[in-house]
Structure 1
Amino acid sequence: MASVTLAVAPVAHAQSTTVGSVFGQIAGQAGSQVMVDNASTGLKRTVQVDASGRFTAAALPPGKYKATLLKDGKVVSTVDLDVLAGRGAEAVFEVAQTRQLESVQVVGRAPTIDVSRSENSSTFTAVQLGTLPIATRDLNGIIALAANTTRADTRYAGGVSIGGGAPSENSYYINGFPVTNALTQLGSIELPFGAIAQADIKTGGFGAEFGRSVGGVVNITTKSGSNEWKGGASVSIE
């Protein structure tokens, strides 16, 4: 009698959970190019501005970028951006136009609302985590920074309640892979605090790529190598 064993490997989720994008619209710049450059990693990407003035550079790893508007190979304007995983960063270029001055109009620009996302979430970068007052330098301490979260009752194995759900109803992801404790459904594997590049705490309205979660979703993006030498040290007293 023969037996067959099937092994199913975890499936990586959509790239939108681990990468971001740069987008924008520039009037009167059709045919120009926008170059997106990450000096730390050396990643460069150039996209074309379409006939309506729109451009999008997708699938960018999280980090600090410089977006440069090029016209006939010459630099017109630059802007610095922070690209976060699962989100788009709008590049707003200041383009000088030569014309006879007839009047001056002062216009205020309100922060752009990202209508492409319906979820409720709080995102914390490594820089923010290094300055915010965190009760415990672990994943539960980071989750507690987000709105609509609270420490769960220690009589029920502790953990964190997100959006009113039980701790066992939360899902955890690292770089798009599910890492929730398969035995107890409570928490996940722990990363060194300094290895976290971005923590995204989703409390509601998240997409179908984050299934099997009645409570909330914790999506962690880890730091990656760069072309810069860095060092650090930390001391923990318990």
Structure 2
Amino acid sequence: MRASSRLNRIGFVNSTRRRPLINHLFSLCGLLLCTLVFFTVPVKPQASSSLAEVRGQITDSTGAVIPNATVTLTDVDKGTTKTATTDENGDYLFLALQPSIYDLKVDAPGGNFASKTTRLTLTVGQQANFPVELSAGGVAAEVQITSGEEIVETERTQQSTVITPREILTLPLSRRNYLDLALLTPGVSDSDNINDASDARVAQGRASGLSFGGSNGRGNLVTVDGGPVITATGGVFDTVSQEAVQEFQVLRNSYNAEFGLSSGGIVNTVSKTGSNRISGSVFGLFRDAKFDSRNAFDFNPKGKSNFNRQQYGGSFGAPIQRDKTFFFTAYERFNQNQTTFVNLNNPNNYNVTSSQNQLFNFLQTGPMGAPFAPLATLLRGNLTTTNFPRTINLFTSASGQFPFDANQTYFSARVDHTFNERASGFVRIHANDLLEENQAAGALTAVSRGRALNQFNTGVLLSYTQQFSGNLVNEFKTDFNYYKSRLTPNDPNGPEINIEGFGNFGRDIFLPSVGFARHFDILDNVTYVTGNHTLKFGANLFNIF
């Protein structure tokens, strides 16, 4: 258990009214702090929200506000509805919405105005402002369709990009790791390609793979459905597959305090849910060496080396109870049998170079050759690798074609339930395993320096959202993740031998390694809106054991 404890209050925005409520919230903070100190549970700011919100003002054609209008928001796929009434300023507000496609219908009181329905697409983390103008009575009801890109976010300060379902579905990815799509956003690069002193690269200390503004990829926050999936070294748990991801938001900088203490970027992922429709998908990718050209580094005398890959899976979603309870599951499998090529046996490296040979000839036959001839002969002999059979054998035995197999399985399932118009929740489970052989072998790295990686993780997340009033909502989440990783060196004994520029051999000094971790989180976010001001408070209790 970590020894440090932190509690941060999040985001006050110039609110001077409703003082009794604020005093009650401060009292609640004090009670929570005392509870945390008593139980010595680590606390940090809450993780980023996986929800959206929409607000706006209802006016007539002259710009006059329309109070007491009924605004109904209906999830197109699930059929669930929420209702709000405009205040004296004609403003309406919907908080804690699942990213989805909605129909927003406005009905003014008294029948003096025609009703109007607009279709909106709300994305993860979006704070949409969508005003509606009603026409005079007697005009036919109007229907509009508005995409998420056309909705103005007047309260957003962070630089962020949403990777949409269309991009996730259509853009090709070799290993179907959806986080690779974050590399399409400005200022984000592959941290695995950073080759400098900004990071200590050991096999068991994986990073997230995403560098924001040149960072080493270890200070990022990655969440799935609002639950953090970060390892102790800054890596990312493999939770849901690409087939189970609906969309995700990439926040690069200038994000609000509510997103926590991340020193890098934030990736906020939302998984798919079921709907009123029975739907599913099936995919497959199959490759074989018969249909590939020969690798330029494949010097196998017996012919083309082995290669085949199968990636397949699918998803299924359906209603358990229409407009109320929904189910979604996804499965994905990756099998790959391929060959890694290590070509360290280069005869040109076994003899002295031409410049070395010229130097030795000068020492032996030059004007001062007599006193330096024995030294030249000694140096020539020691720098000629063919005089050392054990070194020659080290390079020749390490060269050739070696199996590089990999297998991975993803499984996830999610059930969503709407208790009533003001309360909803869901539970999601996942399991993932990974086996990769001969990792790191290739180029100047011999197979004896390689290793086998065996990982397994599983977890469950429970979420419950309660709306107490039109401007007060609470979002509660708790999740548990179990993670185990085993790194086994191909050479169990060693020693580690590094011949700079020519080859690396033997067991990595940091291996073997076996690690496991249990992550337990409790997150709670409270949002209260009064007039033009918003108060947000949240905490995250976490324990790693």
TM-score, normalised relative to structure 1:
0.80
Aligned to 1:168: 218
In structure 2, the CA distance between the partners of 1:153 and 1:231, relative to structure 1 (3 Å rule), is closer
Equivalent residue letter for 2:258:
E
- 1:73: how far off? 8.2
Contact 1:181 1:189 (C-alpha < 8 Å) held by counterparts? no
Equivalent residue letter for 1:70:
D
- 1:24: how far off? 1.2
In structure 2, the CA distance between the partners of 1:236 and 1:163, relative to structure 1 (3 Å rule), is farther
Aligned to 1:104: none
Answering whether residue 188 of structure 2 is matched by residue 149 of structure 1, we say yes
Aligned to 1:22: 54
Correspondent of 1:181 among 228, 231, 239: 231
Give the ranges of 4+ consecutive aligned residues of structure 1 lying more than 6 Å apart after TM superposition: 9-12
Equivalent residue letter for 1:222:
S
Identity of aligned residues (%): 26
In structure 2, the CA distance between the partners of 1:204 and 1:135, relative to structure 1 (3 Å rule), is farther
Correspondent of 2:129 among 72, 76, 90: 90
In structure 2, the CA distance between the partners of 1:222 and 1:211, relative to structure 1 (3 Å rule), is same
- 1:134: how far off? 4.7
Aligned to 1:101: none
In structure 2, the CA distance between the partners of 1:97 and 1:72, relative to structure 1 (3 Å rule), is closer
- 1:137: how far off? 2.2
Q: Secondary structure at the match of 2:243?
A: helix
1:190-229 equivalences under 5 Å are: 190-229=239-278
Aligned to 1:40: 77
Structure number having the greater helix percentage:
2
Q: Secondary structure at the match of 1:114?
A: coil
Determine which structure has more spread, i.e. the larger CA radius of gyration.
2
Higher relative contact order (CA 8 A, sep 6+): 1
Q: Deviations over 1:168-219 (max 9, x none)?
A: 121211111111012x212332421011112111111122233332211111
**What RMSD, in angstroms, separates the aligned Cα atoms of the two structures?**
2.8
Structure number having the greater strand percentage:
2
Contact 2:49 2:226 (C-alpha < 8 Å) held by counterparts? yes
**How many residue pairs get matched?**
220
Contact 1:164 1:215 (C-alpha < 8 Å) held by counterparts? no
In structure 1, how many angstroms separate the alpha carbons of the residues matched to 2:118 and 2:110? 17
- 1:113: how far off? 4.5
- 1:46: how far off? 0.8
Q: Deviations over 1:86-125 (max 9, x none)?
A: 2123334352237xxxxxxxxxxxx665231211111112
Contact 2:127 2:156 (C-alpha < 8 Å) held by counterparts? no
In structure 2, the CA distance between the partners of 1:11 and 1:229, relative to structure 1 (3 Å rule), is farther
Contact 1:81 1:89 (C-alpha < 8 Å) held by counterparts? no
Contact 1:78 1:93 (C-alpha < 8 Å) held by counterparts? no
In structure 2, the CA distance between the partners of 1:8 and 1:192, relative to structure 1 (3 Å rule), is farther
Residues 129-138 or 116-125, more deviating: 129-138
Q: Deviations over 1:30-50 (max 9, x none)?
A: 111110001322210110111
Residues 60-69 or 85-94, more deviating: 85-94
In structure 1, how many angstroms separate the alpha carbons of the residues matched to 2:45 and 2:80? 23
Q: Secondary structure at the match of 2:279?
A: coil
In structure 2, how many angstroms separate the alpha carbons of the residues matched to 1:19 and 1:112? 16
Answering whether residue 153 of structure 2 is matched by residue 114 of structure 1, we say yes
Equivalent residue letter for 1:18:
S
Equivalent residue letter for 1:170:
N
What residue ranges of structure 1 are gaps of 5+ in the alignment? 1-5, 99-110
In structure 2, the CA distance between the partners of 1:62 and 1:9, relative to structure 1 (3 Å rule), is farther
TM-score, normalised relative to structure 2:
0.37
In structure 2, the CA distance between the partners of 1:180 and 1:77, relative to structure 1 (3 Å rule), is same
In structure 2, the CA distance between the partners of 1:30 and 1:46, relative to structure 1 (3 Å rule), is same
What residue ranges of structure 2 are gaps of 5+ in the alignment? 1-38, 60-64, 138-149, 196-200, 287-308, 310-545
In structure 1, how many angstroms separate the alpha carbons of the residues matched to 2:152 and 2:236? 32
